[in-house]
Amino acid sequence: MAGKKDYNLFDKDTQAFIYNMQTNAVQRMLDFDYVAGRKTPSVAAIVNPTGNDGFQKFFFGPKEILVPVYKSLKNAANKHKNVDVMINFASFRSAAASTEEAFAIPQLRTVVIIAEGVPERRMRELNVKAKQLNKVIIGPATVGGIVPGAFKIGNTGGTIENIMDSKLHRPGSVGFVSKSGGLSNEAYNIVSQNTDGLYEGIAIGGDRFPGTTLLDHLLRYEKNPDIKMLVCLGEVGGSDEYTIVDALKKKMITKPLVMWVTGTCSKAFKTEVQFGHAGAKAGSESETADAKNTALKAAGAVVPNSFDDYGEKIAIVYKDLVKKKIIIPRPEPPAVKMPMDYNAAVKAKLVRKPANFISTISDDRGEELIYGNMPISEVFKKDIGVGGVLSILWFKRLLPNYATKFIEMAIMVTADHGPAVSGAHNTIVATRAGKDLISSLVSGMLTIGPRFGGAIDGAAQMFSEAYDAGKTPQQFVDDMKAKGANIQGIGHLIKSIHNPDMRVTIISSYAKKHFKSTPLLDYAREVEKITTSKRDNLILNVDGCIGICFVDLLRSELTKQEADEYIKMGALNGLFVLGRSIGLIGHYLDQKRLKQGLYRHPWDDIAYMLPEKEK
Ligand code: ACO
Ligand code: LMR
């Protein structure tokens, strides 16, 4: 990338593509970016060859950002010209092909291959090609690496807590390289405890043919004036470490180098031992860890006696550099606090938040749905019926049988009253106009009000108020007349004393027979005597009868105050809503069955009353 020094693969402005949908790795990189104080996220885009173009949501510190996702690497590169790194999370089967794809894009300079077990023949081809094209490969079989305070590859360094503990959020003076990713995390910790911290750390990966060698990175560090000392971890097997011996001898490496080759224990085994990595196997005496450690020491590296005093040796070299003023320790920058994820904070009981609302009638969080305090299985075992369920969900208690039966009767008698009433009429029109079930149903429901079905609450309220105020039925009727208001629950368009409403008879006789007492119903009957003496259709109608009986019911089962509150809330019209929805759905299905076309009034059915033209 223009402006970037040769020896620097990554800096504070480096942006990468992540090849494959590795959301955890991306989030870890972005978390690092935030604590490192980066202005731009280190991930410019995700390349997801098996997905679609789009965006993926991530946190950048406390904020949420959208990271673009591309199906094609070429498209991603066209859109993000500054990106020069690709972190390749492709599997070992497709890592070589996708790396070649990246090689074909001139702007991409560094490719990190995470997969383990990429075919060795393919890796050798890629390594040759990389040299020709001046590309850098880190890996395969690696977690990657890190430039503290600037850029982190994938999952390197582990959790954000590890990153902070090993001071990887800000630069130090040590250049580190190893084969193993796991051991490099341990080494970062050792470096942070014994020096001013890491400047850069790379794990080249444990396969036999890594894209870059330990020496490649040490030579980069040698050139970088910000790196003052080198720390390296080699591994039993191969001869890579001898190239370092040579470089030391030829003074290509002049900065102090603390180095340990792991695997000295392999001599304890009688037969040749294959350690975790493909390359970690001593083929000859010279490939053993001991031989390499001896040669390195002879060439001038600081070699500890074992991994145990690695840190000690690092500390000695560091202190010497401080004494010589080659390293001038810098004050620790203020640490940026990483916001905690909300779910993690809740789990750790670190935060609390008032609920947006509370709900007390049912609970579906446990094994079984609970209505009130009754598990759904119990609802059926006790066979409490629709009335029982309604009584629990509306009144928060299971009312006695006579009451739940009454609720069911109210639903049954209000289910339908023919196609001419306003609710059914609207539902029928909406259905014939091609509307769906819910629209047609709602269209009918919306007519429920004082002139149709919605008088249950009004009746309950008016009659109980008058009764409680000690008004005689006559006083009540007179007062309403004086106010010019209709008594809710009185009057019907068709029904009259000569054409009584059987629904009212059924409801009122049940109440008389089963209720503990019916003072309000008795009062309403007296009112009805007065109103019907004026006009024969001013009967106690079905809404009125249900509402008034319900007051009698609630007042004998609940406290008076509680019963009055439900009436004030407007709960009782719900009974008509519930009942009538059965009928309205019936009308919808009926019209669908009849399959008639659009609704259209014949002109004969409509009276047109336009203003008469002036003569
Ligand atoms: N209380 C007192 N007087 C009434 C009442 C009443 N509820 N209803 C009608 N009247 C009187 C009117 O004041 C009017 O008197 P007037 O001739 O002296 O002026 C006369 O009766 C006719 O009034 P309309 O409004 O024409 O009555 P109509 O019979 O057309 O209306 C209706 C019937 C809408 C039900 C009406 O009685 C009413 O509004 N009742 C109260 C609300 C109610 O209970 N709605 C539920 C209806 S039933 C159901 O939906 C299942
Ligand atoms: C009904 O139950 O729908 C009817 O009693 C109402 C009406 O307006 O006739």
* Closest protein CA for atom 3 of ligand 2: 417
Closest by Cα among 146, 74, 142 to 108: 74
CA distances from 299 to 224, 254, 339 (A): 22, 11, 48
Which letter does DSSP use for residue 323 in this model? H
Expressed in angstroms and rounded, the spacing between residue 285 Cα and the centre of ligand 2 is 103
As a whole number of angstroms, the distance between CA 47 and CA 67 comes to 11
Question: What Rg do the C-alpha atoms of the chain give, in angstroms?
Answer: 42
Q: At what angle do helices 542-557 and 560-569 cross, to 10 degrees?
A: 150
> Which residue of the set 169, 217, 277, 587 is catalytic?
277
**To 10 degrees, the CA torsion angle through 168, 170, 174, 178?**
30
Expressed in angstroms and rounded, the spacing between residue 493 Cα and the centre of ligand 1 is 8
Angle at 537 between CA 534 and CA 542, to 5 degrees: 130
CA distances from 212 to 1, 131, 240, 292, 343 (A): 19, 10, 11, 19, 41
3-state helix, strand, coil in the chain (%, to 5): 45, 15, 40
Expressed in angstroms and rounded, the spacing between residue 176 Cα and the centre of ligand 2 is 87
The DSSP bridge pattern shows strands 174-178 and 151-152 to be unpaired
**In a 3-state reduction of DSSP, which class is residue 588?**
helix
DSSP string covering 381-446, please?
HTT-HHHHHHHHHHHSS---HHHHHHHHHHHHHHS---TTSHHHHHHHHHHHTT--HHHHHHHHHT
Ligand 2, residues at Cβ distance < 6 Å: 417, 421, 452-453, 493, 542
Instruction: Provide the pLDDT for residue 1.
Output: 42
* Closest protein CA for atom 45 of ligand 1: 451
- Residues making up the chain, counted from first to last: 615
| Tokens 């008639």 -> residue | 596
Instruction: Provide the pLDDT for residue 460.
Output: 97
Please enumerate in sequence order all residues whose Cβ is within 8 A of that of 427, keeping only pairs 6 or more positions apart, or say none.
440, 441, 443, 444, 584, 587, 588
Ligand 2 atom with the shortest distance to the CA of 418? 3
* Closest protein CA for atom 12 of ligand 1: 486
The DSSP bridge pattern shows strands 85-88 and 43-47 to be unpaired
Tokens matching residue 350: 């670190």
As a whole number of angstroms, the distance between CA 146 and CA 152 comes to 4
Ligand 1 atom with the shortest distance to the CA of 492? 35
Ligand number nearest to the C-alpha of 487: 1
Ligand number nearest to the C-alpha of 494: 2
Expressed in angstroms and rounded, the spacing between residue 163 Cα and the centre of ligand 2 is 74
Q: Does the active-site annotation cover 277?
A: yes
Ligand 1 atom with the shortest distance to the CA of 421? 50
Sites in the chain below the pLDDT cut of 50: 1-3
The torsion angles phi and psi of 226, rounded to 5 degrees, stand at -80, -15
Which letter does DSSP use for residue 452 in this model? B
| Tokens 């309220």 -> residue | 461
The structural domains of the chain, ordered by start, are 16-323 (3.40.50.261), 354-397 (no CATH), 414-598 (1.10.230.10)
Tokens matching residue 586: 């019936």
Tokens matching residue 304: 């500890």
Expressed in angstroms and rounded, the spacing between residue 533 Cα and the centre of ligand 2 is 22
Expressed in angstroms and rounded, the spacing between residue 611 Cα and the centre of ligand 1 is 29
Ligand 2 atom with the shortest distance to the CA of 414? 2
The torsion angles phi and psi of 293, rounded to 5 degrees, stand at -60, -40
* Closest protein CA for atom 51 of ligand 1: 453
* Closest protein CA for atom 4 of ligand 2: 417
Ligand 2 atom with the shortest distance to the CA of 494? 9
Instruction: Provide the pLDDT for residue 609.
Output: 80
Ligand 2 atom with the shortest distance to the CA of 423? 3
**Site to substitute for ligand 2 among 507, 542, 584, most atoms within 8 A of C-beta:** 542
Expressed in angstroms and rounded, the spacing between residue 546 Cα and the centre of ligand 2 is 13
Ligand 1 atom with the shortest distance to the CA of 480? 2
Ligand number nearest to the C-alpha of 419: 2
As a whole number of angstroms, the distance between CA 393 and CA 329 comes to 70
User: Which H helix or E strand runs over 274?
Assistant: none
Expressed in angstroms and rounded, the spacing between residue 576 Cα and the centre of ligand 2 is 11
| Tokens 């004030």 -> residue | 568
**Site to substitute for ligand 2 among 421, 543, 573, most atoms within 8 A of C-beta:** 421
* Closest protein CA for atom 6 of ligand 1: 486
Ligand 1, residues at Cβ distance < 6 Å: 450-453, 455, 486-493, 531, 535, 537-538, 541-544
* Closest protein CA for atom 6 of ligand 2: 452
**In a 3-state reduction of DSSP, which class is residue 585?**
helix
Expressed in angstroms and rounded, the spacing between residue 446 Cα and the centre of ligand 2 is 14
Ligand number nearest to the C-alpha of 489: 1
Tokens matching residue 467: 């009764």
Please enumerate in sequence order all residues whose Cβ is within 8 A of that of 251, keeping only pairs 6 or more positions apart, or say none.
none
| Tokens 């439900």 -> residue | 566
Cβ(239)–Cβ(286) below 8 Å: yes
Expressed in angstroms and rounded, the spacing between residue 486 Cα and the centre of ligand 1 is 6
Distance of alpha carbon 508 from the chain centroid: 54
- Report which residue type is found at 88: N
**Site to substitute for ligand 1 among 486, 495, 537, most atoms within 8 A of C-beta:** 486
| Tokens 């959208």 -> residue | 66
Reduce the secondary structure of 474-539 to three states and give it as a string. HHHHHHHHHHCCCCCCECCCCCECCECCHHHHHHHHHHHHHCCCCHHHHHHHHHHHHHHHHCCCCC
Instruction: Provide the pLDDT for residue 614.
Output: 62
Tokens matching residue 507: 């409801």
Cβ(514)–Cβ(552) below 8 Å: no
Q: Encode burial over 333-361: b for 16+ CB neighbours within 10 A, e otherwise.
A: eeeeebeeeeeeeeeeeeeeeeeeeeeee
As a whole number of angstroms, the distance between CA 542 and CA 489 comes to 7
Which letter does DSSP use for residue 199 in this model? E
Instruction: Provide the pLDDT for residue 605.
Output: 74
**Site to substitute for ligand 2 among 411, 493, 580, most atoms within 8 A of C-beta:** 493
* Closest protein CA for atom 9 of ligand 2: 421
User: Which H helix or E strand runs over 470?
Assistant: none
Q: Is the peptide bond before 611 cis (omega within 30 degrees of 0)?
A: no
Cβ(526)–Cβ(436) below 8 Å: no
Instruction: Provide the pLDDT for residue 246.
Output: 97
Distance of alpha carbon 582 from the chain centroid: 38
Ligand number nearest to the C-alpha of 456: 1
Instruction: Give the HSE-up count for residue 593: Cα atoms under 13 Å, Cβ half-sphere.
Output: 6
* Closest protein CA for atom 34 of ligand 1: 451
Ramachandran assignment for 491, one of left (phi > 0), alpha (psi -120 to 50 degrees), beta (any other): left
Please enumerate in sequence order all residues whose Cβ is within 8 A of that of 519, keeping only pairs 6 or more positions apart, or say none.
467, 552
Instruction: Provide the pLDDT for residue 2.
Output: 41
Cβ(253)–Cβ(223) below 8 Å: no
pTM above 0.75, yes or no: no
Ligand 1 atom with the shortest distance to the CA of 477? 2
As a whole number of angstroms, the distance between CA 194 and CA 310 comes to 10
Instruction: Provide the pLDDT for residue 237.
Output: 77
Give bridge partners of residue 151 from the DSSP assignment: 147
Expressed in angstroms and rounded, the spacing between residue 530 Cα and the centre of ligand 2 is 22
Q: At what angle do helices 401-414 and 573-594 cross, to 10 degrees?
A: 40
Ligand number nearest to the C-alpha of 421: 2
Ligand 2 atom with the shortest distance to the CA of 422? 8
Q: Is the peptide bond before 140 cis (omega within 30 degrees of 0)?
A: yes
The torsion angles phi and psi of 276, rounded to 5 degrees, stand at -45, -50
**In a 3-state reduction of DSSP, which class is residue 547?**
helix
Give the model confidence (pLDDT) of 408-445 as tens digits. 999 999 999 999 999 999 999 999 989 999 999 999 99
